Amino acid sequence: MKIGCVILDVEFLVLWMKIGCVVLDVEFLVHWMKIRCVVLDVEFLVLWMKIG
C-alpha cells in the first residue's frame, strides 16, 4: 500500500507541476499580450501625432 501511495504522490506531483506550468504559461501569455498592446498603442499614438 505504501508503494502505491508513493506512486500516486509522484503522479500527483507531476500533474500538479504540469498544471502549474500551464498556469504560468497563461499568465505569461496574458502579460506578453498586454505589453504588445501597450507597444502598439504607443506606436499608433506616435503615428497619429505625426499625421496630426
Q: Where are the domains of the chain?
A: 23-52
pLDDT, position 46: 92
Lowest-pLDDT range of 1-5, 9-13, 20-24, 28-32: 1-5
Read off the C-alpha cell for 34: 498586454
Q: How far apart are CA 37 and CA 20, in angstroms?
A: 26
Read off the C-alpha cell for 30: 496574458
Q: Residue 48's pLDDT band (boundaries 50, 70, 90)?
A: very high
Residue 50 has pLDDT above 90, yes or no: yes
E-strand stretches of the chain: none
pLDDT, position 1: 66
Give the pLDDT mean for 6-25: 87
Residue predicted with more confidence, 1 or 52: 52
